[in-house]
Amino acid sequence: MSDIYKLVQVLVEREVFDQSSQNLVSISTGLVAGDSVNTDNAKAVGNTISMIGKSVTEYKFFQKNRVKTSAIYVKTAN
């Protein structure tokens, strides 16, 4: 069995190609990210932060301006 076939089998078993779901799925674990996870929008979240004219030490980061990872919000896998 080729390495590529083995890789495809693992990905198929973990249903990472299931397009009926709009949730993010971890390729390595098969865990399904919860609805609060927004790592796929990291650039857009970062673009909402404006630090112009402020030093790093005086800027306050708010929860709403953070990317929420699947390490925090994970649903039970199918």
How far apart are alpha carbons 56 and 39 in whole angstroms?
23
What are the tens digits of pLDDT across the range 9-23?
Answer: 888 887 767 777 677
Q: Is residue 14 part of a domain?
A: yes
Number of folded domains that form the chain? 1
For residue 69, give both structure tokens: 């990872």
Q: Is residue 77 part of a domain?
A: no
Q: Is residue 71 part of a domain?
A: no
For residue 11, give both structure tokens: 């990905």
Q: Is residue 36 part of a domain?
A: yes
How far apart are alpha carbons 36 and 24 in whole angstroms?
11
Structural domain for 44, as ranges:
3-65
Q: Is residue 11 part of a domain?
A: yes
What are the tens digits of pLDDT across the range 1-53?
Answer: 799 999 888 888 877 677 776 777 777 777 777 777 888 888 988 888 888 88
